[in-house]
A and B are shown apart, each in its own frame.
Chain A
Amino acid sequence: MSTLLRLATAGSVDDGKSTLVGRLLHDCKAILADQIAHVKTVSEARGGDFDFALLTDGLRAEREQGITIDVAYRYFATDKRSFILADCPGHVQYTRNTVTGASTADVVIILVDARHGVLEQTRRHLAVAGLLRVPHVVLAVNKIDLVGYDEAGFTKIAKDVNEVADQLGIAHIQAIPVSALVGDNVVDRSAHTPWYDGPTLLELLENASGRIDNSQQPLRFPVQYVIRPQTDDEYRDYRGYTGTVASGTVSVGDQVIVLPAGRRTSIAGIDRPVVTATSTTVVERPSAVAGEAVTVRLADDLDVARGSVIVDAEASPGTRRELAATVSWLADRPLTVGARVLIKHTTTTAQAIVTKITGALDLDTLGVIDATELALNDIGKVQLKIAAPLAADPYSSNAITGSFLLIDAHDGWTLAAGMIDDEEGELL
C-alpha cells in the first residue's frame, strides 16, 4: 500500500509542538518562499525572532494567545515518503481537537519539555494514543537546549514516559532528545548530544511502518448508498451497493452474509467506475481490498440498504443491541446514566441509551475508578443499549467496525468517541 504516513503531535501546552512541526517542515525544505516571508513579517511586527509556530498556528486567536486551539494539517514529502502532519493543541480545554488529530494518525509524537518532565496532559495524551491504538508513539524530549543537553534528565524522562506507557498497554516508546527551536536531532543530527546515538526524528519517521494493513482480516463492507440508475440503457436493471472495504478482501464469487438480516448470498460482481468527458460507465474487476471505495453486486435480490454490512460468511461478527465500550467524552455537559443519545456506527445511525457507567480512568494512578458520570475530557467505560442491531467487532480487531460516535440528538454535537471493548472488556 501507500507509503503515506499520518502524524499527529501531542503533549502539554507550550511543550513546543507547533515549533517542532514548523522546524520539521522548514528543515525538510517544505516551506515555500511566500510562507517564509509571511512568518518573517509577522514575527518582526511582534518584535521577535522567526517564530516557527506561526507556520501552523493559522488562526487569529491562536496568534494572539500564542497557543494552538485546533488541529492544523500540513503536507510534505521527502525522498523517502510523504507525510500528513496534524499539529494538535496541548491545552486541556482543546483535548477534543487532539483526539480528532490522533484518531487518523499512524504515529503520535508526544512532546515533553525537558525542564518539566511528565505532566497531567502528557499522561492524558498518552492515554488517548493508547486508547485509539495509534500504531506508533514516539517521544520527543524537547527544549533540551534549556537544560544544557543533559543526558541524565533525558534518560529520566524517557523512563518515566515508558512507565506510563507500560501501564496503559502501549509498546516501548523510543525517545529522542530534540530542540525544536535550535533544530537539534529533528532533521539534522545534533553536535550537542554526543551521548545520543539513536535516529533523528525524521529518520525515525521515514522508517516507521505505515498504516496497519487490515486486508488479511475477515471481510467487512458497510453499505453506504445504493445505486439504481433506472435508465433506458444497459444499466436498466443495475443495482449496485457502494461502500469502502473496511477490512479484508472481496472477490467475485465470495460467499457472504448480509447483516443485520443474516441472509447468505455471493458476490456477483465488483465494479470500477470509468469516467470520460462524455460517458459514465463501469467495468468489472475481480477483487478489491481494504481501503478501496467500490461498488458490489450480489447474486440474490435481497433487501440491502444503507446500514447493511456485507461480511465474510465464515467469519460473521453477528449483530448486537448491547455494547460495552470505552469512550473519550468530548462534550462540556457531563454524561450520566440514562442519557439518550444517537450512536453512529459505520453507516448506521440509531438511538441509544447509556445503561451503565462502569468506571473512569484516573490520570494520577492510571487505574480505573468508580464513576457515576463522565466530565469533559474523561475517559470512561460505559454500557449502551441500542435501538437497532449493529454488526460490530471489538476495536482491537477492527478500528472501523469497532468504533462509533455518540451524538446529541438535539443539536447534533459530537459527544464522544467510542471504542468497543474486547470480550474480556479490557481496553485500558
Chain B
Amino acid sequence: MRVAHVTALVTELDALESESIFVFREVAAEFERPVILFSGGKDSIVMLHLARKAFSPAGVPFTLLHVDTGHNFPEVLAYRDAVIEQLGLRLEVASVEDYIADGRLRERADGTRNPLQTVPLLDAINKHRFDAVFGGGRRDEERARAKERIFSLRDEFGQWDPRNQRPELWSLYNGKHRPGEHVRVFPLSNWTELDVWNYIEREEIPLPSIYYAHERDVFERDGMLLAVGPYSQPRSGESVGKRIVRYRTVGDMSCTGAVASTAGSPAEVVVEVAASTLTERGATRADDRVSEAAMEDRKREGYF
C-alpha cells in the first residue's frame, strides 16, 4: 500500500527537500563550527547532496567527520575518499581502531564496534570545538529517534536528556547553547527510508555499489545474512553460501546484515522497500536487538 506514494511524489519530495535546505542554512548562519557526520552511507550521502544544494553555486561551508570503526566495507571507504577528492571537501577521521590500539577503548566481547563510536565522536567534537553536528538520523528508523527534535541539545558531556528536551515550535529552530554544549541537527528527521530512495532515484545520486544486488559469500546468524570477511567469520554450524544480496544500511561489517535482493537500481530498490515487511534496522542491525532501549541508552551517552 505504500507504493501509492508515487502519485504525490514530486511535491512531497520537494517539500522535504526545502525543509532540509532551510535547516542547513539556519545552521550555517547561526553556528561557528558546524560539521557533517559522513559515513558514506546513503543517509549521509543524501545529507551532503542537500547541503550542496543549500549553498550552490558556492561550496559546502562545513567540515565532514567520519567516525571510522575500522570495520568498514571497502566500497564505502573508496566512495568516501572519491567524494572528498572530487568536491574538495575537508574530512576529519576519528578512528576507533586508534583508541583500541592505545587502550583508551577495549574491544567488546561480541566484536561489534558501533557502540564504541561514541567516545571518539565526542573527543573529536571537543577537539575541533564543533558546535553543530549534523546527523543523518531519521525519525522513522527507530523508536528513540522518533522522539528527537530537529535541533537537539547536548550537554558538555555530549549527553542527550530525552526527558527534558527544549520545546521546538514551528520552524523557529533555537540553536542557542552554552560554551561546551553542542547541538545535534537532523535535517532528514521527517524523511522515511522510501523518501530517501525516491530522492536518490530522482536526483540520480551515486551510491556505494553494495547498496545494489551483488553476489557475496554469506552465512546466516540471528536471522541475518552476514558477509564472510576479515571481521566476521562463520562459527561452527553456520554454513557459508553464495547469495545475491544487497545492503539496506552500511555500518560495522561485523554486525550489519545483508538482505536477499535482486534490486540493481534505485527504482528497483524503491519497489522492494515499499513491499518490505521489516524495518531497515530490524532487518540489518544486530546491535539494536540487544535490549528494549539499546538505541536510547547509546543516544543518551552521546551516540549519533
Partner of B11, one of A2, A97, A231: A2
Taking a contact as CB atoms under 8 Å apart, the answer to whether A81 and B25 are in contact is no
For B178, list chain A residues within 8 Å (CB): 411-412
Taking a contact as CB atoms under 8 Å apart, the answer to whether B277 and A242 are in contact is no
Nearest Cβ distance between residue B122 and chain A, in whole angstroms?
20
Docked Cα-Cα span, A58 to B15, in Å, equals: 27
Mask for B9-43, Cβ within 8 A of A = 1, else 0? Answer: 00110110111011001101100000000000000
A225 contacts partner chain B, Cβ-Cβ < 8 Å: yes
Taking a contact as CB atoms under 8 Å apart, the answer to whether A77 and B2 are in contact is yes
Given contacts A2-B8, A282-B57, contact A103 B169 (CB under 8 A): yes
Taking a contact as CB atoms under 8 Å apart, the answer to whether B29 and A306 are in contact is yes
Mask for B152-195, Cβ within 8 A of A = 1, else 0? Answer: 01000000001101111111101011100000000001101000
Docked Cα-Cα span, A224 to B35, in Å, equals: 19
In this complex, what residue of A is CB-closest to B191? A75
Nearest Cβ distance between residue A199 and chain B, in whole angstroms?
20
Nearest Cβ distance between residue A29 and chain B, in whole angstroms?
6
Mask for A92-107, Cβ within 8 A of B = 1, else 0? Answer: 0000110110011000
Which of B94-102, B239-247, B278-286 is the contact stretch? B278-286
Taking a contact as CB atoms under 8 Å apart, the answer to whether A225 and B28 are in contact is yes
Taking a contact as CB atoms under 8 Å apart, the answer to whether A404 and B163 are in contact is no
Question: How many A-B Cβ pairs are below 8 Å?
Answer: 207
For B162, list chain A residues within 8 Å (CB): 59, 61, 69-70
A32 contacts partner chain B, Cβ-Cβ < 8 Å: yes
Taking a contact as CB atoms under 8 Å apart, the answer to whether A1 and B58 are in contact is no
For A72, list chain B residues within 8 Å (CB): 143, 146-147
Docked Cα-Cα span, A59 to B139, in Å, equals: 13
For A276, list chain B residues within 8 Å (CB): 204
Taking a contact as CB atoms under 8 Å apart, the answer to whether B22 and A227 are in contact is no
Docked Cα-Cα span, A38 to B26, in Å, equals: 37
B216 contacts partner chain A, Cβ-Cβ < 8 Å: no
Partner of B56, one of A34, A63, A96, A275: A275
B5 contacts partner chain A, Cβ-Cβ < 8 Å: yes
Taking a contact as CB atoms under 8 Å apart, the answer to whether B12 and A413 are in contact is no
Partner of A281, one of B1, B8, B54, B57: B57
Interface residues of A, CB < 8 Å — how many?
79
Taking a contact as CB atoms under 8 Å apart, the answer to whether A73 and B146 are in contact is yes
Taking a contact as CB atoms under 8 Å apart, the answer to whether A33 and B277 are in contact is yes
For A77, list chain B residues within 8 Å (CB): 1-2, 4-5
Mask for B131-156, Cβ within 8 A of A = 1, else 0? Answer: 00000000110111011010001000
Taking a contact as CB atoms under 8 Å apart, the answer to whether B279 and A32 are in contact is yes
Given contacts A79-B4, A273-B52, A293-B17, contact A225 B146 (CB under 8 A): no
Most chain A CB neighbours (cut-off 10 Å) among B163, B165, B172, B189: B172
B292 contacts partner chain A, Cβ-Cβ < 8 Å: yes
Chain A, range 257-303, C-beta contacts under 8 Å to B? 271, 273-278, 280-282, 291-293, 295
Nearest Cβ distance between residue A404 and chain B, in whole angstroms?
7
In this complex, what residue of A is CB-closest to B166? A414
A162 contacts partner chain B, Cβ-Cβ < 8 Å: no
Identify the B interface with A (CB < 8 A): 1-2, 4-5, 8, 11-12, 14-15, 17-19, 21-22, 25-26, 28-29, 49, 52-59, 86-87, 139-140, 142-144, 146-147, 149, 153, 162-163, 165-172, 174, 176-178, 189-190, 192, 203-204, 206, 276-279, 282-283, 292-293, 296-297
Q: A100-B169, A244-B18 are in contact. List 11 more A-B contacts (CB 8 A).
A: A4-B15, A59-B296, A69-B162, A73-B139, A227-B55, A227-B57, A243-B25, A244-B21, A280-B57, A404-B172, A412-B177
A-B contact pairs, 9 of them (CB 8 A): A29-B1, A33-B278, A60-B292, A75-B190, A82-B8, A242-B54, A281-B56, A293-B19, A293-B54
